[in-house]
Amino acid sequence: MDAILCQKLTKKFGDFTALDGLDLAVEKNRVFGFLGPNGAGKTTAVRMLTGLSQPTSGKAYVSGEEVTPRNLSLRSKIGFLPDVPAFYGWMTGREFMLFSGELHKLAPKDNNLRADELLELVDLKEAGKRRVGGYSRGMKQRLGIAQALVNKPEVLFMDEPTSALDPMGRRDVLNLIERLSGDTTVFMSTHILSDVERVCDRVAIISEGKLITSASVEELKRKYSTSAFEIQFEEEPTPILTQLLKMPYVKTAEVRAEGDLKVVYVQASDLAKAKTEIPGIIAQSGLTLTHYELTTPSIEDVFIQLVGNGAKA
């Protein structure tokens, strides 16, 4: 059984279509990255999947239950971290954790233990005694993560979980997500591509409310991104560029300026052939080689290719 299933999920605000017929299936206990540029419809989708917003048409199922605003048994199975979590400023962090636990009907003893455990996990044990009104945005984000985990959710929805965090906080959150994988399904919307590459098993890319593709990170890299050679010389590289462009296994070759350096980027249509032939061409050119690297494709390359160029899978 899929942990999350969307069937033609659509949301319209007047004439504007925020989400257009999303069909998506997320396997159980995986970390799923929901990727898209700002305004792509990520937050709209997350809100509908958590029952906070009603779809204009289509259906969604989470943990086998249909998502509706009145389905409370579903809500006891999920955790939710909004993009900007807002708290009651007069409460202390620990009070908010206890309040969340009470809403999930935890027994008082378990609630106290769970609150302490989670506050320690997100490094807010001391700050938990202070009012949330005085917390920084990063602290609020960490408290948001802690409250989302209070009921040991089967499915955890996180809307931009690392966007407000400093590098250390980001690393901690990503470590936490990695630890959760295997026991919890994590649905993480983000536009931070390095986060996706680090923790997600599978990704879906959406743009302008439409699903562009959904696959594993490796599949996407294989399908949409080609390896590139980065070559640098002490001398002007233009002569070798002309020669490279004549080769049938070279797809593109260009010189890019990186500060004072001029770097030759070569994309090959036949990688195996290029690997064996290019070093020979360099040797024959008489230029002084300073750097030679075969770069591996990143999810960023895939994202830019799919979203930036408006391509469709």
Partner 1 sequence: MSGLIPLFKKELKEQWKTYKTLIVAIAFAFFGISTPLILAYLPQIIEMSGQGGDIPVVMPDPTPLMSMQEFGQTMLQVGVLICILIAMGAISGERDKGTAMLTLSKPVSRGAFVMSKYLALGLLVLVSMLLGAGLCYWYTVMLIGDFSFMPFLGSTLLMSLFLLLCLAVTLFFSSFFKSSLAAGGTALVILIAQGLATQLPWIGQYLPGNLSSWSTRLLSASSDPAWGALAVSIAIIGLCLYFARIRLERKEL
Nearer to partner 1, 67 or 264 (CB): 67
Question: Does 102 interact with partner 1 (rule: CB under 8 A)?
Answer: yes
CB of 104 to partner 1, least distance (A): 6
Question: Does 202 interact with partner 1 (rule: CB under 8 A)?
Answer: no
Nearer to partner 1, 82 or 209 (CB): 82
Nearer to partner 1, 103 or 261 (CB): 103
Binding window for partner 1 (CB under 8 A); candidates: 86-94, 188-196, 239-247, 250-258: 86-94
Q: Which residue in the set 80, 135, 229, 303 belongs to the binding site for partner 1 (CB under 8 A)?
A: 80
Question: Does 133 interact with partner 1 (rule: CB under 8 A)?
Answer: no
Binding window for partner 1 (CB under 8 A); candidates: 102-110, 243-251, 271-279, 285-293: 102-110
Per-residue mark of binding to partner 1, 135-164 (x: CB under 8 A): ---------x--x-----------------
Rounded Cα distance between 52 and 83, Å, is 14
75-96 residues labelled b (16+ CB within 10 A) or e (exposed): bebbbbbbbebebeeeebbbbb
Question: Does 130 interact with partner 1 (rule: CB under 8 A)?
Answer: no
Question: Does 187 interact with partner 1 (rule: CB under 8 A)?
Answer: no
Nearer to partner 1, 189 or 214 (CB): 189
Q: Which residue in the set 39, 57, 88, 183 belongs to the binding site for partner 1 (CB under 8 A)?
A: 88
DSSP the chain: --SEEEEEEEEEETTEEEEEEEEEEE-TT-EEEEE--TTSSHHHHHHHHTTSS--SEEEEEETTEE--TT-HHHHTTEEEE-SS----TTSBHHHHHHHHHHHTT--HHHHHHHHHHHHHHTT-TTGGGSBGGG--HHHHHHHHHHHHTTT--SEEEEESTTTT--HHHHHHHHHHHHHHBTTBEEEEEES-HHHHHHH-SEEEEEETTEEEEEEEHHHHHHHH---EEEEEESS--HHHHHHHHTSTTEEEEEEEEETTEEEEEEEESSHHHHHHHHHHHHHHHT--EEEEEEEPP-HHHHHIIIIITT---
Binding window for partner 1 (CB under 8 A); candidates: 83-91, 184-192, 201-209, 212-220: 83-91
Nearer to partner 1, 61 or 80 (CB): 80
Q: Which residue in the set 76, 112, 227, 267 belongs to the binding site for partner 1 (CB under 8 A)?
A: 76
Question: Does 84 interact with partner 1 (rule: CB under 8 A)?
Answer: yes
Nearer to partner 1, 163 or 285 (CB): 163
Assess contact for 3 and 154: CB atoms under 8 A. Answer: yes
Q: Which residue in the set 47, 114, 142, 202 belongs to the binding site for partner 1 (CB under 8 A)?
A: 47
Judged by the rule CB under 8 A, the positions of this chain that interact with partner 1 are 47, 50-54, 69-70, 72-73, 75-76, 78, 80, 82, 84-88, 90, 99-100, 102-105, 144, 147
